[in-house]
Amino acid sequence: MSASTITPQDFLERLIALVDQERSAEEEESSLLLSNAPFNLLQRSGLALGNLEGSTAIGLGGRTLVELTRPAAWHTSASFPPHDFRTGDIARLRAQQTEKGGNKKAPEAKGKGKDKDEGVDAVVYRVSETKIVLAVDAEEEFELPERVQILKLANPATFKRQIHFLRQAIKLLDASAPIPPLLSVLLGLQKPSQDPTFSPDAQPFLDENLNPSQQEAVQFALSSAEVACIWGPPGTGKTQTLVEIIRQLVRMNKRVLVCGASNLSVDNILARLSVPHPNFPSPIPLTRVGHPARVLSSLTRHTLDSQSLATDTSALLEDIKQELQALEGQLRNGSGKNRIRGSERKKKWEEVRELRRDLRKRQGGVVEEVLGKAKVVLATTHGAGGRSLDKYNFDVVIIDEGLPIPSLVSTRSSDGTRLLDPHHARQEADPGDHLQLPPTLKSLDTRSSSTSKKPKKTPSQPTPTPASASDPKPSTPRLIASPTLELTLFSRLLSLYGAPIRRMLKVQYRFNEKINAFPSSKLYDGELVPDESVRGRKLSDLEGVEADEDLDEPVVFFDTAGLAMHERSAEDGSFGSESKSNENEAEFVLALLPQTILEPDGSSINTSKPSSIAANVPATSISLISPYSSQVLLLSSLLHAQYPELEIGSVDSNQGRENDVVIVSLVRSNDEGEVGFLSELRRLNVSMTRPRRHLVVVGDSSTVRQGSTFLDAWIAWLEDEALVRVPS
């Protein structure tokens, strides 16, 4: 039975309900974390760190930077244990709690109605092996205790913003004014069209290294009147293609807003754009909007905050900042007789607040100057919805990577939704790959955890979308209610308009012919091909790496079937209790590591044990990934101390990344043939397309192949095409 179509208003109302459901699930988890979970459990889960000491400084925008370390008085090592704190996360900073639930004097927080015993909320600014720096909002006023702890929190602001602008979009639809063409196309009310004034001959390519499929995608994006989708499978140079499109738009005197689902995707584009091209030598005026803590340090000079400080008023702003830092130092660092008390202390805090207000006011005055000069503004979809962009118009919006539909409407203006307002966006380009991972949803996790332990066999395909040129083009676009927020804008547009709305990048520059074979044939209609420069690459080609039989095989499968290497679930009642780990598999992965791993400085670590990969492989050239967070934590606990340079992470966190060697720990091994979300083909696609030279898969074939027809086909391919080993 086919799904029935709905009105655009009902479609948006459905999205509001889904966003609110996701917000509730995330807030419920965060509340449970803060109220019920023992702190040592949170630490084991990587969601908290304790017994830290800190120091403060003033950062960009008047924010207070708190540098946290592990003091020798409380820890045997200055290095942090494995944890989930990443740049841009929200964290609660509070006084160290005692085992009985009491605490030392908490950070005294004011300014946002927060009880001082709760501590203060901050953004993770920087993370290293021995230091974590938090950025506290300039409006917060607090005193740092001698000993503190931090907890990872949810961030509801994104959800609230999305709901607000979805409602704004409904109001726009209900208005008597004509519906903007872009909105009509996005909601399936009219088919996309081409710009009749565009002439390919008038726009020669700036990047002479673009391949034919990239050139076709560029021209398609420039000639589309409303929407263009660029399908970029792994390693196909999507960022290179986007940079060409952006430069061409700037050359056409267009103003461009570039949005991404993640800070990393936005920064990848910014890094490329910031380097002048020989055929486009004039630097493009670029501004990166967003919290400086979420931007790569090498790109900080392009942030709105940094550029605001580089104006003619920067000297005055620096004077205010220095005065503010000195005052806060007096208030926070004084002790004993030197501590400022009583009315004098109250007076000093009032001076601090006044200086912060002055700093914000003066910085606000230069924001318009900076943004007014920018030809390209880059931000996450959340950042693009901020007040700083309220007054600015854009000709084209580029949305990088797959985004849930509500993220579309979070890029707004003061009088409505930016993408839905003809005065703020006339054209949209949407590059992505609907066959890679969708957004991770807490509401789905909550729903699945309340069902039976044995799930139904997961479908081997995601929500059907026209993906190949042979797919039929829908005769009439149909708007269908989203079942979940996993359906991205890219997938939605493909389902509405079919193959004609997209162009595929067909040449990949990452992995060799063997690694390319399965995903190309099963997911990309055989159209994804390796470039000649990578077609025959293998690990033994690297300088200093000793060749052997394993290295001449790009894909190696260690089959643990029948070896009783069973999975286990996380402890009941713990966070991530649905997550799985496999200790025997983790121990075997440890045994796979090279006998000699080269450190970045050229020195070597001798492990004194055999290796099944290679000798003299740089540690930074190896990534260990697993679909399950519990397995990632287990691998980190086993390997981090001995191999600190190894990259260990989840499949989800590795989307968009690559390395010479990728070891995939599949984890699932049970008598029932249950595989959970391992059967999601998009997750498997990301796993198998990360390596450049050498893919190692460790898993139980008898369990994994039962999960879906896609998994069965993959295991069969591994058995036929890979070097198959049985762990000893």
Under the banding of pLDDT at 50, 70 and 90, the label for residue 74 is: very high
Are 481 and 5 within 8 A, CB to CB? Answer: no
Under the banding of pLDDT at 50, 70 and 90, the label for residue 321 is: confident
Is the predicted pLDDT of residue 109 greater than 60, yes or no?
no
Q: What average pLDDT does range 135-145 have in this prediction?
A: 76
Under the banding of pLDDT at 50, 70 and 90, the label for residue 632 is: very high
Predicted confidence at residue 669, as pLDDT, reads 96
Under the banding of pLDDT at 50, 70 and 90, the label for residue 452 is: very low
* Residue 608: Cβ-neighbour burial (10 angstroms; 0-12, 13-18, 19+): exposed
Note the pLDDT tens digit of each residue in 463-494: 434 344 345 455 556 677 777 777 778 888 88
Beta strand spans in 637-679 (E): 647-650, 659-665
Higher pLDDT, 525 or 63: 525
Average pLDDT of the chain is 79
Query: Per the structure block, which two tokens stand in for 639?
Result: 């390997």
Could you tell me the residue ranges of all domains in the chain?
14-97+119-158, 301-331+342-373, 511-602+612-725
Are 671 and 645 within 8 A, CB to CB? Answer: no
Cα–Cα dist 387/413, whole Å: 8
Predicted confidence at residue 273, as pLDDT, reads 94
Predicted confidence at residue 439, as pLDDT, reads 54
Is the predicted pLDDT of residue 410 greater than 60, yes or no?
no
DSSP letter string, 267-306: HHHHHHHTSPBTTB-SPP-EEE-S-GGGS-GGGGGGBHHH
| CATH 3.40.50.620 given to domain 511-602+612-725 | no
Question: What residues contact 312, with CB distance under 8 A and at least 6 apart?
Answer: none
Tell me which DSSP letter residue 541 carries.
G
Query: Per the structure block, which two tokens stand in for 51?
Result: 């017994």
DSSP letter string, 368-402: HHHHHH-SEEEEEHHHHTSGGGTT---SEEEEES-
Predicted confidence at residue 673, as pLDDT, reads 93
Quick check: do 14-97+119-158 and 511-602+612-725 share a fold?
no
Are 138 and 112 within 8 A, CB to CB? Answer: no
Is the predicted pLDDT of residue 185 greater than 90, yes or no?
no
Residue with tokens 């020989």: 278
Under the banding of pLDDT at 50, 70 and 90, the label for residue 285 is: very high
Q: What average pLDDT does range 201-214 have in this prediction?
A: 92
Half-sphere exposure of 624 (CA within 13 A, CB side): 32
Predicted confidence at residue 293, as pLDDT, reads 66
Note the pLDDT tens digit of each residue in 329-382: 777 665 656 677 778 888 888 888 888 778 777 766 778 788 889 999 999 877
Cα–Cα dist 42/49, whole Å: 8
Task: Report the percent of the chain where pLDDT is more than 70.
Answer: 79
Note the pLDDT tens digit of each residue in 253-277: 999 999 887 788 899 999 999 998 8
Are 146 and 71 within 8 A, CB to CB? Answer: no
Is the predicted pLDDT of residue 127 greater than 50, yes or no?
yes
Are 115 and 142 within 8 A, CB to CB? Answer: no
At 225, give phi and psi (nearest 5°): -80, -35
Predicted confidence at residue 461, as pLDDT, reads 38
Note the pLDDT tens digit of each residue in 224-250: 988 899 999 999 999 999 999 999 999
Cα–Cα dist 25/35, whole Å: 16
Are 310 and 121 within 8 A, CB to CB? Answer: no
Cα–Cα dist 33/575, whole Å: 8
Cα–Cα dist 565/669, whole Å: 7
Q: Which CATH number fits domain 14-97+119-158: 2.40.30.270, 3.30.830.10, 3.30.1490.20, 3.10.450.50?
A: 2.40.30.270
Predicted confidence at residue 246, as pLDDT, reads 95
Predicted confidence at residue 68, as pLDDT, reads 96
Cα–Cα dist 214/507, whole Å: 9
- Using the Cα atoms of residue 654, residue 659, residue 665 and residue 666 in order, give the sign of their dihedral: positive
Query: Per the structure block, which two tokens stand in for 430?
Result: 């949407």
Distance of CA 36 to the CA centre of its chain: 28
Note the pLDDT tens digit of each residue in 574-629: 454 568 999 999 999 988 886 445 555 555 554 444 444 555 678 888 999 999 98
Question: CA distances (Å), 194 to each of 213, 220, 224, 227, 254, in order?
Answer: 19, 9, 4, 9, 17
**b (16+ CB within 10 A) / e for 351-375:** ebeebbebbeeebeebbeebbeebe
Instruction: Count CB atoms within 10 A of the CB of residue 205.
Output: 16
Cα–Cα dist 211/572, whole Å: 53
| pTM assigned to the model | 0.76
Are 497 and 192 within 8 A, CB to CB? Answer: yes
β-strands 617-618, 622-626 pairing? unpaired
280: β partners: 277
At 492, give phi and psi (nearest 5°): -60, -45
Instruction: Count CB atoms within 10 A of the CB of residue 31.
Output: 12
Highest mean pLDDT among 211-225, 390-404, 489-503: 211-225
Cα–Cα dist 308/300, whole Å: 12
Phi-psi region of 117 (alpha: psi -120 to 50; beta: other; left: phi over 0): alpha
Is the predicted pLDDT of residue 21 greater than 80, yes or no?
yes
Predicted confidence at residue 22, as pLDDT, reads 85
**b (16+ CB within 10 A) / e for 466-479:** bbeeeeeebeebeb
Please give the angle made by the CA atoms of 215, 218 and 220, to the nearest 5 degrees: 110
Q: Helix (H, G, I), strand (E, B), or coil: what is residue 155? A: coil
